[in-house]
Each structure stands twice: as C-alpha cells, then as structure tokens.
Amino acid sequence: MLGAMARILVTEKIADRGLDRLRAAGHEVDVQLDFTPDTLPSLVAGAAGLIIRSATQVTAEVLAAGRDLVVVGRAGIGLDNVDVPAATAQGVMVVNAPQSNTLSAAEHTMALLLAQARNVPQAHTALVDGRWERSRWEGVELSDKVLGIIGLGRIGTLVAQRAQAFGMRLVGYDPFVSAERARQINVTLMDLDDLLATADFVTIHVAKTPETAGLLDAERLAKAKPGLRIINVARGGIVVEADLAAAIASGHLGGAALDVFDTEPTTASPLFELPNVVVTPHLGASTREAQDKAGETIAEMVELALGGDFVPFAVNVAAAEASETVRPFLPLAERLGALFASLTAGASGPLEIDYQGQLGGYDNRILTLSVLKGFFGRISDEPVSYVNAPALADAHGIEVREVATTTTVDFVNLITLRRGEHTMSGTLAGHNGEPRLVAVDGHGVDLPPSPHMLVVRNEDRPGMIGVVGTVLGEAGLNIADMDVGRSPTGAAAMMVVATTEAVPVEVAEALRAVPGIVSVHSVDL
C-alpha cells in the first residue's frame, strides 16, 4: 500500500546514506547482492521497490514476478538494463538519478581528452616497463584546436565550459538545442557531417537510442577531418567499434579514447591493439561523490514514489519535470481530482481540465496526471500512480481534455475541472500558497480542500445550516471548516463542510433523509 512500510529490494552496492534514508522512513531494505538471473524473479516477488545499478537486468519476466512493484530505481543515468515499456504497461514507475554523475562524467571526458592529446597512459606504461620513450609519445596542445561536441545537454555543456578554459574553439551538433542557446555557451551549431569535417577532437554526450546507435559508422567516419580524435564517455554502440578501429588503423583518424563499449564488460577488442587508443572500464560515474549522490537521489525518488508523491526523475511519466511555477499546484490538483470524483459519481462524458492565469502559459501535463491520480484513486480498486493514471482513464473510457488560457477574472491562477453538469475550481492563496476550494458547480466557496469533506445540496430555505450541524454534532463529528456556496443569483443552496474525521456512511444517509437536503457527497482523502 502506498505510504505504508514497504519492502525494498536492493541488488547492487548503493551508498549507505541512501539506504539509511529509506530505513529511517520505516521501509524494510533487503540487500541481496549475490543474485543470479534465475533467482532474481523470486527475490523481487513481494517487493514494492527495486533499486539497481547497471548490472541487474530488469526484464519483462522480472517485472511480471514483481506483481507488487511500485517503482524501479536505477542509481545512475542509463536505463539500458530496464525494460521501460514493460514497466509502464504494468504501471511500475521507473526512476533514475540523471544529475548525480554529470560532473564526474564531464571531468572524465576532460581526463580522456588530455590523455589522448598527450599519450599519458602509453607513456606511463612504457616508463614503468623500463622504456624511456620521450620522442615516441609526442602529443598536441588543446589550445586553438576545434572541439566538436555531439550532444549539448548537461554533460556536453559542462565539457564546453571546461574546454573553453583550455582555449579550444567549440562547435556542436544537437538537433534539440536552439542556436541562441548554443551561442550562450559559445558553441557554433553545425550538422553532424560538417562538425566531423571541422573538428580536431570530438566528444560524445548523447543517450543511446535507435536514432543514435551506430551514429558514427564507417560511412560517416570517412567524411571526418584527417587526424580527428574521438572521445566517448556516453554509451557504447554510438560509435561502431570495428569501423572506428579500421579508421584508426588506416591512419585516417588520429586516435580515440573510450570509456564505454557496445558489450560490457569487455576485455578484448581490436581497439585495444592500437597504440593511439586510450581505454577505461566505464569509469565516467566512478567517483565517490557521484556514487554518494546517485544513492541519495535514488533513495529520495523511491521514497517519493512509495509515498504516492510527485517524483521529479520518473522517466516513464509524461512531463516528469515540473517548473517551479507548476510544482506547488500538484497537491491541489490531486485533491481536486479526488473531490471531483466523489462529486461526479455516475456522471458521463469527457473530463475537462482548465488551467487559467499564469498557469495557462506553462506545460501542465504533470498537473493533469495529478488530477487523474486523485480522481482514479477514488474510483479504482488498484493503486494509482502517475504512471498508470492515463491508462486507467483509457480503461474507463474517459476522454481527458486540457484547456489553457492566460486570462482569468478573480484569481491569479485557477484550476477548474468539468464533467457533465459538474464543475470544481481551486487555487493557491496568500503568501504561503495555501490551497483553496473556490467554486463547486457554479457556487462560490472559500475553504481549504480538507481530508474529510461533505458537499451538501439543499433547498434555499432558512434553518438548513443548523440542521446539518445538528446531525453532524449528534454523530460526534466536529466541523473544522464550512462555507455556504452562493450561486450567481445569490441563492445559498449548497454547503461545503470539512470535518475532523471521516463521515460514516450512516451519517451521510441520515443527512440525505432530512427534508430539504437534495444530495450529499462525502469524500475521504
């Protein structure tokens, strides 16, 4: 159950501080480092969370065995070893730690760049073997050389900053980065072939996808500037290793420095036989600081996922990253969804979510997921997460529509839900951004969306407020907050009541039996 103590299976070495965080939250941390592919399915059975690094293969079979899984956490960036589509289909959130090793990867790129330029490991090996080969390992300066950067994300940008300090001229290839953004980091954008024909060194900083696998093959390498040297600390397989080895052996390319390989671990490659190639065994994230950050980050993400909260680094949730303007509205959106599900029981038609004011100018997909999470959390018999909420909407045949406008009348920001004849609106108010319910079915109200609420429709006649208060008081229920909703005509024909405890079914039935009460909707968040 989300939020309760859960068993979390850990199959690879994770920083102790991350695991201690999960234990402190009340979870059972089950560390099982001596597993095999055959034993993993039985180990994952009954676990709500699974934390891995790069060695554990989370296949569709493993996921199927983990019927209670809520989240799979990868303490690092790459997810080559996780069947993300199968996890998504099963409603399992997949999270990683995308920022934990960016600095380490950028620094290792610079280390390999310098090692390749100055032949550091080759000269070291010769000297400790008793050979003083000073003339053989003459290098080149980085200053005034052209560095081509393939991929201008976080790591590529950090490399650009550091290479600039060495006096290098920067060109880049990234179809998702604007020319203006590239200019801000002093990079001139080019298409890939032009970059290869211009650069003296090339570093790679893109994810391995169907589009980037084999990106640098024999045909493309043949177009490269003679003497080009390639550094790859991203993912193996982006450069075709056999083609790279052939291009270096022929003398067309000047050399390479590789930290990643198509198959890992690997201890044999034609690249290893070439004297102008530097290799390391996937050390890009292998710093104490990166491992600590990855362990702590993934523990935080898993804790959030098990608590049913917003998870910034969920990779299989649309718009997992929310802007600072949008993020404070996530709890409000989820509560509105839950309240609205109770109010609209039996209604049909599409669910429309309207974002007004400043919110209307932002990407609000994560808010929509929060609304759906709250809505289906009230009506579904299975745990609802950001991952499976859209699938539940499809399964229920509910079309979800988003509407956005930057104009609003009474509030800076407003979220309004509509379905059938029902509407509900909420906002954040005051300096502390307190959530407020401000309209229900066209009736203006003003109170916080509380864990236990009643929406009471009544005939517009004196004494109705007292009747409701009497019934609740006789049942021993305290009223925490209450507002009388007024329609545009001024008729006080609705009450929204927040109680300190859940309203029992028999009390709601007693209210419905009172003359003048039209309907009673109860919700327990």
Sketch the domain layout of the chain as residue ranges: 7-98+289-306, 102-279, 327-524
Question: Is pLDDT above 50 for 390?
Answer: yes
Exactly one of 53, 282, 422, 521 is catalytic; name it.
282
pLDDT at 511: 92
Query: At 269, is the pLDDT very low, low, confident or very high (cuts 50, 70, 90)?
Result: very high
For 220-224, 302-306, 320-324, which range has the lowest pLDDT when averaged over its residues? Answer: 320-324
Question: Is pLDDT above 60 for 2?
Answer: no
Cα separation, 267 vs 283, whole angstroms: 15
Catalytic residue check, 264: yes
Answer CATH for 327-524 from 1.10.3720.10, 3.30.1330.90, 3.30.420.40, 3.30.70.380: 3.30.1330.90
Question: Is pLDDT above 50 for 75?
Answer: yes
For 23-37, 73-87, 244-258, which range has the lowest pLDDT when averaged over its residues? Answer: 73-87
Q: Which residue has the higher pLDDT, 394 or 129?
A: 129
Tens-digit pLDDT profile for residues 213-266: 899 999 999 999 999 999 999 999 999 999 999 999 999 999 999 999 999 889
Residue type, 328: P
Give strand ranges (E) for 23-162. 28-31, 49-52, 71-74, 93-96, 146-150
Tens-digit pLDDT profile for residues 180-197: 888 989 999 999 999 999
Question: Is pLDDT above 60 for 3?
Answer: no
Mean pLDDT of 320-341: 81
The overall average pLDDT reported for the chain is 89
Mean pLDDT of 358-386: 82
Exactly one of 138, 141, 211, 264 is catalytic; name it.
264
For 1-15, 134-148, 358-372, 485-499, which range has the lowest pLDDT when averaged over its residues? Answer: 485-499
Mean pLDDT of 396-402: 87
Name the residue among 293, 283, 151, 126 with its Cα closest to residue 212.
151
Question: Is pLDDT above 50 for 121?
Answer: yes
Question: Is pLDDT above 60 for 333?
Answer: yes
Q: What is the 3-state composition of the chain as percent helix, strand, coil, each rounded to the nearest 5? A: 35, 25, 45
Cα separation, 166 vs 2, whole angstroms: 51
Give strand ranges (E) for 83-145. 93-96
Mean pLDDT of 11-25: 92
**Tokens at 227, concatenated:** 């003497």
Domains 7-98+289-306 and 102-279 share a fold: yes
Catalytic residue check, 21: no
Name the residue among 121, 162, 170, 124 with its Cα closest to residue 145.
170
pLDDT at 320: 43
pLDDT at 319: 40
CATH architecture for residues 7-98+289-306: 3-Layer(aba) Sandwich (3.40)
Q: Which residues contact 290 (CB under 8 A, 6 or more apart)?
A: 100, 101, 103, 104
Query: At 460, is the pLDDT very low, low, confident or very high (cuts 50, 70, 90)?
Result: confident
Q: Which value, in Å, is the radius of gyration of the alpha carbons in the chain?
A: 29
Question: Is pLDDT above 80 for 486?
Answer: no
Task: Tell me the fold of 102-279.
Answer: Rossmann fold (3.40.50)
Cα separation, 424 vs 415, whole angstroms: 8
Mean pLDDT of 46-62: 94
Question: Is pLDDT above 70 for 415?
Answer: yes
pLDDT at 408: 81
Q: Which residue has the higher pLDDT, 491 or 208?
A: 208
Exactly one of 53, 169, 205, 235 is catalytic; name it.
235
Q: What is the DSSP letter of 58?
A: B
pLDDT at 525: 64
